[in-house]
Structure 1
Amino acid sequence: MTDHRMLLVHAHPDDECINNGATMARYVDEGVGVTLVTCTAGEMGEVLVPELSYLAYEEKGGLGEHRRGELDEAMTVIGVTDHRFLGGFGRFHDSGMAWHEEGHAIPAEEIPDNAFWNADLTEAADELVKVIREVRPQVLVTYDQFGGYGHPDHIQAHRVAMYAAQLAAVPSYRLELGEPHDIAKIYWTAMSESRMRESLRELRESGDTETFKGMEPDGKLPPFVTPDELISARVDGRATVQRKMDALAKHATQVEQDGHFFSGAESGHSWWAEEYYRLARGTAGTTGADGFEEDLFAGL
């Protein structure tokens, strides 16, 4: 084990594998302490397994408990032994979402009373302050201010993570939550524009018009794609991408086993092995030839 510690804050089970699965696996292998905090159980997600359709929120319910098991299995594959739900399982409920005509997520018209989107920001942040002061990470990973694609729970996870990081460092703030701790580096997840365009071009040239349907190599890209000049770090996960994909497959209710996540990986067009980050706080360390940090702990 090293003395390095990383904290990741995500909205629902499966978000961690999609965004950071290869990164988590890499750092687990390097002996870094990796802690995952998931803010909701994803109770209002889609159910892509027909025989489990009864778990849907609008049916009998129970999807959150099922996804809790999926997360356990996924983290076993990755090797993360410290994964928690913010405030404990069930404290904050999935908020659901709707789609805007411009192609990004927005809050749904009806939101559960105990939805994460409706949570008091300080109350939710204090739950994370306790974790920060206990784990004492040097690196925090979460979403950008838009939550990648506008999902209200992703946006709230960003707000909670950023506010909690600030509160946790205040020497006089709620000392019963633990000894103050200042996180050295905070990263927001990102997807590289150049890598996305390259992948789209390969897909379209191969005759695949379904994967990332509606997106074209030289066209307008959705908000979760980040211009390369805004990206600070790239983690090379080629050695751990298979664990990432195996872990993602454990989230079976959320990810089609023959969908673009896996067909992309098998086709060679996938960029799932490379995970990109924007440095939101702290000082960048040594960069590689392409100008990206290759290690999120660089400079520490």
Structure 2
Amino acid sequence: MAIQDSQRRLLLVHAHPDDETIGTGATMARYAAEGAHVTLVTCTRGEQGEILVPELAHLAPEQEDGLGEHRVKELAVAMAELGVSDYRFLGGPGRYRDSGMVWGEEGRRAETPDSVRPDSFWAADLREASDHLVEVIREVRPQVMITYDENGGYGHPDHIQAHRVATYALNLAGVPSYRQELGVAWKVPKLYWTAMPRSVIQQSIDALKDTPDNPFGTVQSADDFGFVVDDADVTAVVDGTEWVDRKMAAMRAHRTQIDVEGGFFALSDQVGQSIWSTEHYRLAHGLPGPVDPETGIESDLFSGL
């Protein structure tokens, strides 16, 4: 079946392999299972990621520099778990390199390194990078796009750049006179930003505060993190309870980056299911569809289309 034959088409723009699963994996699995065409565009191969598997330490940038190729394979396994067959790298695999990041003084927000490689995503020409995405948008013709907010969620330069590229490309793709060789113009009806509500992080802090491997350390309040948003800013909530097992399997596929068995992800079954199966969004472009009369929140990203 051709992409355009799908009545619902979803396009996600993420920075590195694993970002898609952590933040939007349940959403992807749900819509793929419901018959929507789900397209993932990943902007880098994640070459600068921290390696959690000791036997793969040789893949680090300062050694063999093979982590990017390995994470491409991890992504393929994760997408199979989520039921997504259309996944691509912006401009092709390796076109833009992971820019890396450093933690701020308190270790709660990412910052851009003092210097980045010229082939890094952060150093990319915005117009050139956006044109790669314009071509995808015009091919897929999504009704819904998902990416990060202007802060990239937690400040990672590649997340911020992904936001810029997605925003720029969304607007350029809808201009009929712009680069007609990239395809027929398409105006995306709705754009959502991923969101982490304050209450969800506070729930996590409270659930893990007495555990021996508490990843939050001495942090007691969600307000200490720069990536949380007010609950009132959340405009859509996707319930992926039925697909949370697929999401967790996809997270396990990203084994160099995620320890699903420990720390932040090892919540109690009841709390963990609530946190990892429910994904939150802010409508950044377009009009909301019908909402829950009690909460005023959309439960379907395609609502109103």
> Aligned to 2:98, which of 91, 94, 101?
94
2-structure distance, mates of 1:192, 1:248: 21
Go from structure 1 to structure 2 and tell me whether the alpha carbon gap of 1:192 and 1:141 turns closer, same or farther (over 3 Å shift): same
Where in structure 2 are there 5+ consecutive unaligned residues? none
Distance in 1 separating the partners of 2:34 and 2:54: 39
Cα offset for 1:209? 6.5
Amino-acid identity (%): 54
Establish whether residue 3 from structure 1 lines up as the match of residue 7 from structure 2: yes
Structure 1: 5+ residue stretches without partners? none
Q: CA deviation at 1:267?
A: 6.1
CA deviations 1:225-255 (Å, max 9, x no partner) are 1111111000001100110010010000001
2:179 paired residue number: 174
8 Å contact from structure 1 (residues 185, 283) kept in 2: yes
Task: Return closer, same or farther for 1:52/1:202 CA change in 2, 3 Å cut-off.
Answer: closer
In the other structure, the counterpart of 1:184 is 189
CA displacement at 1:199 relative to structure 2:
3.1
Q: TM-score, normalised by structure 1?
A: 0.95
* Structure-1 separation of matches of 2:110 and 2:264: 20
- Corresponding residue for residue 296 of structure 1: 301
Note if contact 1:7-1:140 (Cα within 8 Å) is conserved in structure 2: yes
- The one-letter code matched in structure 2 to 1:182 is K
Which residue identity lines up with residue 224 of structure 2 in the other structure?
L
Give the CA deviation at 1:76. Answer: 0.4
Deviations 1:81-122 (A, max 9, x none): 000000000100110111111431111123111000000000
| 1:55-81: CA deviation from partner (whole Å, max 9, x where unpaired) | 001111100000000000000000000
The structure with more helix, counted as a fraction of residues: 2
1:255 alignment counterpart: 258
Q: How many residues align?
A: 298
CA 219–195 in structure 1, closer or farther in 2 if over 3 Å, else same:
closer
The separation in 1 between residues aligned to 2:203 and 2:53, in whole angstroms, is: 32
Letter in 1 for 2:9: R
Which region of structure 1 is more displaced relative to structure 2, 150-159 or 101-110? 101-110
The aligned amino acid for 1:161 is: A
- Specify the alignment match of 2:147 in structure 1: 142
> Is 1:19 aligned to 2:30, yes or no?
no
Aligned equivalent of 1:244: 247
* Map 1:1-300 → 2, pairs under 5 A: 2-102=6-106, 103-204=108-209, 207=211, 210-216=214-220, 218=221, 220-264=223-267, 266=269, 268-269=271-272, 271-288=275-292, 289-300=294-305
Q: Distance in 2 between matches of 1:2 and 1:264?
A: 37
Rate the CA distance shift 1:265–1:284 in 2: closer, same or farther, 3 A. farther
Alpha-carbon RMSD: 1.5
TM-score calculated relative to the size of structure 2: 0.94
Question: Relative to structure 1, is the Cα distance of residues 263 and 179 closer, same or farther in structure 2, using a 3 angstrom cutoff?
Answer: same
